[in-house]
Amino acid sequence: MYSCHVQTSGGQHTTKVILKVEAPIRGLFLEQSRLSGYEEIKCSVSDVFPAPRVTWATEPPTFEDLRPVTRKHAKDSGLFSVDSRLLKLKGRPDLIYICKMTTSYSRSTWTASLRETEISGTEGRDLTIRCMAPTYLKNPSLYWTFSRGDNSALILSYDSQSDQKVSAPSWDGHLELDVYKAKFGDGSLRLMDPRHQEHSGSYACEFSEKFSRHVERSQVSIADPGDPSGQRSVVEKPSYWWILGVVAAGLVLVLAGLLAFLKLRGRDKKPRGHSDEETELNRVKNGDASQ
């Protein structure tokens, strides 16, 4: 607080001014990690003041309790580092996890969201890598990057303002983006004639605008058709038809045993019935003869 004192012939006047200096958020860092067998989403920011308020959401919305754990650490300089972690919900791989941080000074809200998937394809067959912008993004720009190992490169970009699309020359003939759909938040990328060695890796789709950023990472595996083991790993899935076969065979055996039992029982009864009929017939014949 600054105080300004002015003395005049009319008296003394004092004015107080409260100055707030903000270290603003310049971007949120969002990543997925695995800890002790559990998958979690981490949202963090550093060197900010004051410490922001953190909230989480999903898209589509879920009624389950998210229960994030948020830690705020003050450095010697007075700036804050904020770390918020959230366990992924089981059985919901389609969810987008959204982290929001709001500062009390400027009232601006930064938003970051993430979804991660795994996709398998076969060499030479076109493959679509899906990427959809969340509803909170209105007119974002789009960037596609490809990573393998420590190397990462921008392979395609689309500016929603200028309606311009630019792709890396080395990827010509392998990438296709529907610009019309991209205007409405569908940034799905078609990978044409993919190669096992060249195109297997991590693809990241990023929608961004001021104060907001959404990333979808897809781990893409392109199988070599000449490798039978790799082909089986892509095509084959666990089969449970053998269980139904065992149950059906068991039912057939039970029915067969029941029919055999009934048949034998019928045979045992039939001779006895036939003998009684013959005895009665003989009595009638003998009676007629005596008369």
- pLDDT tens per residue across all 291 residues of the chain: 999 999 988 889 999 999 988 999 988 999 988 776 788 999 999 999 999 999 999 998 888 889 999 999 999 999 999 999 999 988 888 889 999 999 888 778 999 999 989 999 999 999 999 999 988 888 889 999 999 888 899 999 999 888 889 999 999 889 999 999 998 899 999 999 999 889 999 999 999 998 999 999 999 999 887 765 554 444 434 445 556 666 667 776 767 777 776 676 666 555 544 455 555 555 545 555 445
Alpha-carbon torsion 263, 266, 270, 272, what sign? positive
The pair of three-digit structure tokens given for residue 101, joined into one six-digit string: 């941080």
Query: If you count them, how many residues does the chain have?
Result: 291
Q: Which residues does 10 contact at the CB level (< 8 Å), separation at least 6?
A: none
| Structural domains in the chain, sorted by start | 22-107 (2.60.40.10), 116-225 (2.60.40.10)
How far apart CA 230 and CA 236 sit, in angstroms, is: 10
What SS3 state is found at 232? helix
